[in-house]
Amino acid sequence: MKQFINKIITDILSIYYKKQLPSFDGNYYISPKPSYLSQFVRILPSSIKVKDLLTNKSDIKKYGAKDSKEFTFWAWRNCGIMCVKMIMEVKGKGKNNSIIDLTKEGIKFGGYITHLNGKFVDKGWFHHSLAALLNKYNINAKTKKWQTVDSVVNDILDNKLVILSVFLPGRSYIKEDGSFAAKKNAKYGGHLLLATGVKMNGKKIEGIYAHDPRGLKNYQKDSWIPINVFEEIFSNRTIVVS
Mean model confidence pLDDT for the chain: 94
pLDDT in tens, 99-112: 999 999 999 999 99
The single-letter code of the amino acid at 31 is S
Please state the φ and ψ torsions of residue 21, each to the nearest 5 degrees. -70, 120
Measure Cα distances from 147 to 124, 140, 211 in Å: 20, 19, 19
Whether the CB-CB separation of 223 and 178 falls below 8 Å is answered with yes
CB proximity list for 5: less than 8 A, separation 6 or greater: none
pLDDT at 153: 98
CATH numbers and ranges of domains, the chain:
2-241 (3.90.70.10)
pLDDT value of position 7: 82
Instruction: Find, among 148, 202, 158, the residue nearest to 17 by Cα.
Output: 148
pLDDT at 133: 98
pLDDT surpasses 90 at 80: yes
